[in-house]
């Protein structure tokens, strides 16, 4: 453990999700044993009957907050994150565009994962199975996932990390989705962890 970490409180992570919550679960589990950071808040823009993330987080001892698009756009969600003293925001299958004010507040501290090798198969409307069907229709021989910084446009933030997998003609969209999900689960939490540790290493400590 880097000596700089000893005098610091754990960094506080929020996760925003819209679906089943498999990535959210992986991230929560990863940081549950971390000395550097912890997940303290999870929000979802769909109802409990529409999104599995609620049950996944509940099983891990963390309630998921229900949020609406207008709360995101009018600044209420940002205030929720401030109240929870959140340092980092991790998007895990979150389908709404983040407003500019929130992006600015978490500049270089908000991260997203996209289920393709950006800039391919990105942009508005390209999410979830839509991406995998497009990859299949294009006859791509490989696909993967991209971890990137969030800006005010869909999937246009600077790329942090990519991992790829090969595809065969027999792979349908469901099989492609499974391959990509395995990459996300393998690398997303680890990459977020590395980003936080790097930021802490570079941040001067206040010894007052």
Which amino acids are annotated catalytic? 114
Cα dist. 92→14, 18, 200 in Å?
Answer: 10, 8, 23
Strand partners, 165: 143
Distance between CA atoms of residues 33 and 4, nearest Å: 18
Q: At what angle do helices 128-137 and 173-202 cross, to 10 degrees?
A: 120
- Provide the CB-side half-sphere exposure for 35 (13 A, CA): 8
Strand partners, 166: 142
For the chain, give the number of residues.
208
């Amino acid at each position: 453990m880097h000596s700089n970490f000893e005098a610091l409180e754990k960094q506080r992570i929020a996760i925003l999700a819209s679906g089943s919550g498999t990535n959210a679960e992986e991230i929560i589990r990863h940081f549950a044993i971390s000395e550097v950071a912890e997940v303290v808040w999870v929000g979802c823009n769909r109802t409990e009957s529409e999104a599995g993330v609620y049950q996944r987080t509940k099983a891990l001892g963390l309630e998921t907050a229900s949020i609406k698009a207008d709360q995101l756009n009018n600044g209420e969600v940002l205030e929720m994150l401030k109240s929870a003293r959140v340092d980092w925001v991790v998007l895990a299958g979150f389908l709404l565009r983040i407003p500019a004010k929130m992006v600015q507040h978490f500049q270089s501290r908000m991260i997203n994962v996209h289920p393709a090798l950006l800039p391919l198969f990105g942009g508005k409307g390209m999410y979830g199975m839509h991406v995998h069907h497009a990859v299949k229709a294009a006859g791509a021989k490989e696909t993967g996932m991209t971890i990137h910084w969030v800006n005010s446009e869909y999937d246009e933030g600077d790329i942090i990390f990519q991992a790829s997998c090969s595809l065969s003609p027999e792979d349908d969209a469901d099989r492609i989705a499974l391959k990509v999900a395995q990459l996300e689960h393998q690398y997303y939490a680890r990459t977020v962890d590395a980003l936080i540790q790097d930021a802490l290493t570079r941040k001067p400590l206040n010894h007052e």
